[in-house]
Every structure is written in structure tokens, then in C-alpha cells.
A and B are shown apart, each in its own frame.
Chain A
């Protein structure tokens, strides 16, 4: 089933004479929609709400890119991908942009013909266990069985961590995060391991979230970011600077609510960002109001964060590493100049 889908995508590489390697920007403009690869449902990052509308931090990135390129945040076609399918879907051209909690690693960046355009969430791997188990630290998990999602860095980190601490574990690997949490619910495993941010989301899917706890240990670095095909620098620049624009807007205090008023601002940084001076947009091959559209349609990074994973969301995750650089975090936009 899944095999057929991947095999089909592989077949596509063989059939199409020359897949558009360069020119994703032209393609997207011609199509009038952005094909964005998202997850099959990770609360806070990319999941559908009760009305079937895609919401989340990763979804907001798709919307921001669509705003910058097409001027309209709604012109996105969301393509849900499992962890296994995601890279093949991007390589074969089924999606223009992969925005799906993907960890930036050396292997992925260098051997898959892909480029990571930045980091939109600094994460780390953690553990979710039932309170009934009576465990307070990951160091007490010797001999435990874990539910893991197949094809993630979590699988590899878990092996490293248990080996380093001289412990043993058993793993059951599932295809989707839904199946993973289902296995945990039914007691197939003692603990779930995944990116900490996802664990908070998965915890909400439990019948009684308070019967479980996320252990304090973070065992890895998981910088999550958007991915594009290698060899299309123009498109790579657009995705990269879309992310910077959302950060720059937050740093300069430009929000969805005040962006119209900010158009009259005399602050030279704001003028350059919103395109009232300079040629940042034109240089990217976009209209001069590209960043204005992003902030107007989607909001700045801080607003997206608070709405989907931060203080205004059920996940209620602390900004932590994901705060701006001048507020103790790692989020740093290169200057728009």
C-alpha cells in the first residue's frame, strides 16, 4: 500500500523527461497554488481542525510562503505525508516545499538532493510514560518497550542513548503518529519517544492526558525546519527569507494587527522589510510587498508560535530556545538590508 505509493513516486522519476529542477517559483506562479507537504496530523504543527482546515506552526510556514509568492495565504494545497514518504515526495516534485517537523541532519542535507532552508522550531527528543509506571527519569527505563514512529531520527537517538547508559530496550515501530499513540494507549509499550513538542500534542490525544507525564530528560538536538529541492537557489532563497521575514517582523514589533499602520513607519529597518524602501522583494523575484503580505495574512513568528503551540494553545509550550535571540532564545533573523 505504502510501498505502491513510494514505488509510484520512484517510477515518476524514471518517466518524466526532466523534472523541473530549477524554476519552482515559475511553476508555483503558473499553477497558482503552492503544494506543501505536511504531516498526517501532529497537533500544533500541522493538523486539521474540526472544520477540516489545516492549522499549525508548519502550516503557517506554507501559508507565509504562499503569501510571499502568490499574495494569498489560502492558495496552498496541503499534501499529508508520513515520515517515510516525505523525502521521496519532495524529490519527485509532488510537493514544492516540505514543512513537516523534519530534523536537519548531515545525511539528509547532503545525500538526498535536498536543502534545509532554516529552523522554525528547536526541539529535542523526550519520553512520554504513564504515571502508573512509577518512573520519574529516563534513566529508570531499562528494559522498557517503546512505541516509535518509523523512519524518524528518534529511532536512532534512542539506540544511542540506551547504549550510552548501558541499558536495554525493545521498540515497536509504527507507520503514523496516530498508530504510535494508539499502541501506547492499548498498553503495547511502556513509553512513547518522539520530539518533545510532539509528545505534548500526543498527550492531548490520550483519553485522560493527566494519567501520563513527559519525563524531564531531553536526549537529542532536533532542529526542525522546512526542506526544498537542491539546485533551485531562487526558490531556496524565497523559503529562507520568508522565515527570516517572520522573525524580523517579530523583532521589529510588526504584528498582524499593526502592519497596516507600520507601512507609514519611518524606521528604516521596517521600511526595508515592508518594501516601502529598498528592493528586497524584487531581488527575490517577488513583489515589493512580499513581507507585508506575510505579516498581514499569517502574522509574525511569535504570533504563530503563541497561537499554535505556545501560551494561547492547548499545548502551552514555553518559548524556551525558540524565543528571539535578544530574549534568550536561538531565533535570529539575518538582516533585511
Chain B
């Protein structure tokens, strides 16, 4: 690079120095952007003021006064504020996103692997699945599942009834609600201890594997510990968890937990749709692993699922993760389409109902956008970190 030297500048003026000029251009560009931002904001506030529209975030403390069909925190129609509405909406968005991301990942992995299966039926079914659900707009799928859910289910009085504990009707899936008594803290402690124990067990098993090459039935043992420990404590501490069952009263059920049909439809649609993209990413990732790797593993006499788990997937994940990040982000953003079926997430509740009651569009839209931006950035950061962990380490 240094061999071809730039010709000496003909004069040594400040502006003729390429480095100085580069700085000047960048500063000018920055100033321009800052000026534009300033111009737009000041202009906006001037316009808003001129029209006598109220500004500021004081409205967040006002009583909201409307009902919400699904709230994860304590919410009262009569006393909760718009700030509570914001939190309720945010949590509902996160709920759908977390469940959706989990189901889409599992489904996507299965379908993606299935797409490459030697079995003709499995591979073709996976292909049909991908091509069907990937090519239908997500909004239509949400409406489709919502209508299917509502049309297929009976009215509360004719609910599908499972042993008087589970009820399924067009108001949702009703399950008993667990009631925790004071002793139930011991169960939580047992569960936490079990998890910590399993983590240490895993480390020990890995170390032993590295040293001696012996396999330890880690998954079976872990699951046994995780189930057994809290169950034992439950009986020892005198069964401190009871359940409140849903009961048909008047024309609706009272008590118990209700999973509303909007949530079911939304999770169905989002995970089924996003899973197609994840499946394609998985397939691409697996195909990117040189076939020599698989053949070598086979030559060593490893079983098929061991090859997949220990040889193929660790290498494929490096290719899979970046596109999957995008799909997770899309899923979170697509959850805002729930406004079409009345699922009470952030956009419906906050930039919908609240915006209309309060009328302060600028503040409310900014807050909503900030939430999606934050969620997306956090997901990106976490997965980028995972990706860096997965990357081949030079040894």
C-alpha cells in the first residue's frame, strides 16, 4: 500500500491537506443532520403550540378508565392510570413475542431439519408447509386463525369440558388458577436449587467427557432432578398450592385463568409464519456445513442424531443465527398487527385507545416507537453476543 506514494500537494494550505478536508466534510455533514433534527422538532412544537394542542407527558398520571381483556399486572378499570395501560400493553406485547419466538424456533428447527430428511414424506411435507405459510401475508393468517378459533369453539354454556377443570369455548381456554400459600416459597427454593444443581452437573459431565470421553445421560438425569425436587418439597411442606377452578356463573365463567382466543390466534399465526423463515435459515445453515464433516463423523461410527447434535448443528448455527435474529425482530414487530383482532397489545392499547382518549399523538407515538426500538436493539445485542460465542475460536 505504501509503495505508491501520493504526489506531494502543490501548496501546503490547510484546505489542501486531505485529512483536514475529510474532517471538514464530516463536521459539515454532522452539522447539517443536527440542524435538520432541530428544525423538524422546533417546527413541530411551534405548530402544535399554535393550534393549542396540549403537550407533555402529564397525561400518564391520569386515570384511564377503560377495561382491558388481558392484564398481566393488577389493573383496575376505575383507578389505573395511562401509565399502567402502557405497562399492560408492553407486557402483553412481550408475552406474545416470547411465546412466539420460542414456538417459532422449535417449529422452525424441526421443519428445517425435516426439509433435509432422507424420508420422502417428511421432506415433502416440510416443503409444502414452508411454501404455503411463507407465501400468505401475515395479516391474513392472523385473521384466518382468529376466525378458525372463534368458529370452531362453542359458546360458554356448551363449553368443551375436561374433568370440570379445563374448559374450552369461544371466550378462551379456561384453566384452574394456582393459589400460593405461604409455605409455597419452599417449593420455589427447591426449584432454584434444582436448577443450580443441574448447571453444576452439566459442567461436571462436560469435564468428565473432555477427560475420559465417557457420556453421561445428562438430559434424563436433569429432568428427573428438576421434577422430583419441587414435587417432594410440595408434599413435605403440606401441599401449600391449591387451585381455584373456573365455574359457569350467569352466562360466563368466573374464576380461574383465561387464555383469550385473541392470544391463541396471534401465537398460532406468528409462530407458524415465522417458523417457515427460520426453517429455511436452518436448512441453509446445515447445507453450508461441508459434507466432508458429516462423512468423517459417519466414518467414526457416530450415530445420526449424534452427528446432527455434535458435528453439524454447532457449525451450522454460525450461519443460522444472523438471519434468525431478523426473524425474531420481525415477529416482535408483526405482533402489532394484533390490532386487527383486538388483542390488547401495545399498539392497540396505547397508540390506539389511549391516543384517542388523550389525543396527544406525538408523545404517544414516540413512546410506542421507542419501545419497539428498545426491544429490537436488545434482541440484536443478545443474539450478536450468542453469535460471537458460537464463532470458531482460533486455537
Q: Is there contact, CB below 8 Å, between B361 and A88? A: yes
Q: Contacting A187 at CB < 8 Å: which of B52, B77, B150?
A: B150
CB distance from A139 to the nearest CB of B (A): 12
CB distance from B25 to the nearest CB of A (A): 26
Q: Flag A9-49 by CB within 8 Å of B: 1 or 0 each.
A: 11001111111010000000000000000000000000000
Which of B53, B66, B147 has the largest number of chain A CB atoms within 10 A?
B66
| A3 within 8 Å of B (CB atoms) | yes
| B69 within 8 Å of A (CB atoms) | yes
Q: Is there contact, CB below 8 Å, between B352 and A91? A: no
Q: Is there contact, CB below 8 Å, between B347 and A172? A: no
B60-104 residues at the A interface, CB under 8 angstroms:
65-69, 77-78
CB distance from A51 to the nearest CB of B (A): 28
Complex contacts, B261 vs chain A, CB 8 Å: 188
Complex contacts, B369 vs chain A, CB 8 Å: 7
Stretch at the interface among A173-181, A258-266, A276-284: A173-181
Known pairs A14-B44, A21-B50, A190-B251; A175 contacts B355 (CB<8 A): no
Q: Is there contact, CB below 8 Å, between B48 and A13? A: yes
Q: Is there contact, CB below 8 Å, between B365 and A174? A: no
Known pairs A111-B54, A143-B249; A159 contacts B340 (CB<8 A): no
| B297 within 8 Å of A (CB atoms) | no
Look across to chain A and name the residue whose beta carbon is closest to the beta carbon of B252: A143
Summarize B's interface: helix, strand, loop or mixed.
helix
Complex contacts, B120 vs chain A, CB 8 Å: none
Q: Flag A153-183 by CB within 8 Å of B: 1 or 0 each.
A: 0011011101100000111111100010001
Known pairs A2-B347, A159-B66, A188-B261; A84 contacts B365 (CB<8 A): no
Complex contacts, B341 vs chain A, CB 8 Å: 174, 179
| B170 within 8 Å of A (CB atoms) | yes
Look across to chain B and name the residue whose beta carbon is closest to the beta carbon of A8: B365
| A318 within 8 Å of B (CB atoms) | no
Q: Is there contact, CB below 8 Å, between A13 and B47? A: yes
Q: Is there contact, CB below 8 Å, between B68 and A171? A: yes
| B250 within 8 Å of A (CB atoms) | yes
Known pairs A91-B53, A230-B52; A7 contacts B40 (CB<8 A): no
Bound-state Cα–Cα, A174 to B349, Å: 10
Bound-state Cα–Cα, A187 to B66, Å: 22
Q: Contacting A231 at CB < 8 Å: which of B43, B50, B151, B362?
A: B50
Bound-state Cα–Cα, A323 to B21, Å: 77
| A145 within 8 Å of B (CB atoms) | yes
| B115 within 8 Å of A (CB atoms) | no
Q: Is there contact, CB below 8 Å, between B53 and A111? A: yes
| A107 within 8 Å of B (CB atoms) | yes
Complex contacts, B359 vs chain A, CB 8 Å: 87, 107-108, 111-112
| A113 within 8 Å of B (CB atoms) | yes
Bound-state Cα–Cα, A227 to B361, Å: 17
Q: Is there contact, CB below 8 Å, between A84 and B50? A: no
Complex contacts, B357 vs chain A, CB 8 Å: 107, 151, 155-156
Bound-state Cα–Cα, A16 to B44, Å: 8
Known pairs A88-B361, A144-B252, A172-B342; A160 contacts B47 (CB<8 A): no
CB distance from A166 to the nearest CB of B (A): 12
Complex contacts, A91 vs chain B, CB 8 Å: 51, 53, 361
Bound-state Cα–Cα, A335 to B117, Å: 84
Known pairs A6-B351, A14-B44; A150 contacts B171 (CB<8 A): no
Q: Is there contact, CB below 8 Å, between B53 and A112? A: yes
Q: Is there contact, CB below 8 Å, between B252 and A173? A: no
Q: Is there contact, CB below 8 Å, between B355 and A151? A: yes
CB distance from A76 to the nearest CB of B (A): 24
Complex contacts, A6 vs chain B, CB 8 Å: 351, 355, 361, 365
| A142 within 8 Å of B (CB atoms) | yes
CB distance from A16 to the nearest CB of B (A): 8
| B336 within 8 Å of A (CB atoms) | yes
Look across to chain A and name the residue whose beta carbon is closest to the beta carbon of B249: A143
Q: Is there contact, CB below 8 Å, between B47 and A172? A: no
| A133 within 8 Å of B (CB atoms) | yes
Bound-state Cα–Cα, A2 to B43, Å: 24
Q: Is there contact, CB below 8 Å, between B67 and A158? A: yes
| A337 within 8 Å of B (CB atoms) | no
Q: Is there contact, CB below 8 Å, between A13 and B44? A: yes
CB distance from A318 to the nearest CB of B (A): 30
B interface with A by C-beta (< 8 Å): 40-41, 43-44, 46-48, 50-54, 65-69, 77-78, 139, 147, 150-151, 155, 170-171, 249-252, 254, 260-262, 336-337, 339-342, 344, 347-348, 351-353, 355-359, 361-362, 365, 368-369
25 contacts between A and B (CB under 8 A): A3-B339, A3-B347, A6-B361, A7-B365, A13-B362, A14-B43, A21-B50, A87-B356, A87-B361, A111-B358, A142-B250, A143-B250, A143-B252, A144-B250, A144-B252, A156-B66, A163-B78, A170-B69, A172-B69, A173-B348, A175-B342, A183-B150, A186-B170, A190-B252, A231-B51
